[in-house]
Amino acid sequence: MDHTLCINKNMPKSSKPSLERRQSKTKAHKKMKEEIKVPAMGESITEATVGTLIKPSGSTVQVDDEILELETDKVNQVLYAKASGVLTLQVKPGETVTIGQVVGFVDTEAKATQGSASEPQATVPKTEEKAQAKPQEAPQPSQGIRYGKEAFLEDVVKPEQKDFPQSVPVGKTREQEIPQLEEEAPPPKKMEGRETRRKMSQIRKVIANRLVEAQQTTAMLTTFNEIDFSAIMAAREKYKDAFLKKHGVKLGFMSFFVKAVVSALREVPDLNSYIDGNEIVHREYFDIGIAVGTDRGLIVPVLRNCEQLSFAEVEKDIEAYAKKAREGRLAVDDLQGGGFTITNGGIYGSLLSTPILNPPQCGILGMHKIEKRAVVVDDQIVIRPMMYVALSYDHRIVDGKEAVTFLVHVKNALEDPSRLLIEV
């Protein structure tokens, strides 16, 4: 009995507590690492491309620090740190990732590797110095003193005293000597670096595909007209200070165009429609896309229900979209939909162009540079600020008569802005 008691005293304790400790350590370890996953960015988006790595692996990050940028076929998305700690990334720029994929983690208890990373760099110069010193310790014999009669004569005889032929030897022509000179000439250097390659960004791929799609799936045609901007410029000059003071935003030309387009779409509703199978669907709302150029490419945020917006609301929405586009903060919902598009190449100096449709839309209006030109008004030649405008449309839905009617309506509304107030 005593022996049994002795054995029981020396037996190890149950392994259950140690298992619990291991499980708790595992859970604690998991909590130490905050995973970074690709978030959902819209119903139609299933994957993204890793763009700029804002923070490198091994760096210390704080909560809400920007980590990396994801590029999609619609927008760019920045991922932020959800915890403070040391960052570890598991992806590289240009790599394709899927929604929900883990692209890295933040270790909340690890220390930054910047200090350890600098240690091997300190030893590199020493190794290089040793490698460079070896050739100096053992000079080649050929670099020392030369012996023999030939070497002695070479040093004594002056170059001009050496026996060099001063003329072409007998039996040889000058033409026979030329090939020898050509063979001794050094080969020409190859010209390098005349071409560079870079991978297409995700948004550039989408732009390319959409442009080709528009050319292949629509019967696109363009009609042109010109607009006298005298009335709009006078109204803008008259009310710009009061408008800015009251609404906190500048009065631009785009709000006039948006209002004129809404009025023209009411006149010609086919330009606010699209083809679905064997049917033409007419939109009863007026969502206008405004093309905005960015460093990443052209994007088209959409102004919703423009028929309900005031001039100030249009200008504020455009300003907000432009800022979000420059900062890469546009959401997918900002770009989806739209029944008609307005694009302004005039800000880049374009005088005339043929804008390309944005399917499934069947109309796009192109603005251009305002330029003073001589025009005839009441049989008099006068100088007026003029702008060429271009309307591209899908001829499958819209006939030429309707397209011209639309563009003339826009022209009349902009040359006499009071028409927008009384809706004529």
Q: CA-CA distance, 422 to 424, in Å (whole number)?
A: 6
Residues in the chain, total: 424
Q: Which residue numbers are catalytic?
A: 395, 399
Residue ranges of alpha helices (H) inside 218-289 are 230-247, 254-267
Are the beta carbons of 222 and 383 closer than 8 angstroms?
Answer: no
Burial code (b: 16+ CB inside 10 Å, e: under 16) for 5-32 equals eeeeeeeeeeeeeeeeeeeeeeeeeeee
Within 10 angstroms of residue 54's Cβ, the number of other Cβ atoms is 15
Are the beta carbons of 415 and 227 closer than 8 angstroms?
Answer: yes
Q: CA-CA distance, 59 to 75, in Å (whole number)?
A: 27
Residue with tokens 């206008």: 288
Give the list of residues 6+ apart from residue 263 with CB closer than 8 angstroms, or none.
409, 410, 413, 419, 420, 423
Are the beta carbons of 48 and 38 closer than 8 angstroms?
Answer: yes
Give me the amino acid identity at 382: V
The DSSP secondary-structure symbol of 143 reads: G
Q: Which of 263, 391, 379, 239 has the alpha carbon at shortest distance from 315?
A: 239
Rounded to a whole number of angstroms, the distance between the first and last alpha carbons of the chain is 112
Are the beta carbons of 60 and 112 closer than 8 angstroms?
Answer: yes
Q: CA-CA distance, 117 to 96, in Å (whole number)?
A: 29
Strands (E), 112-153: none
Helix (H) or strand (E) holding 289: strand 288-290
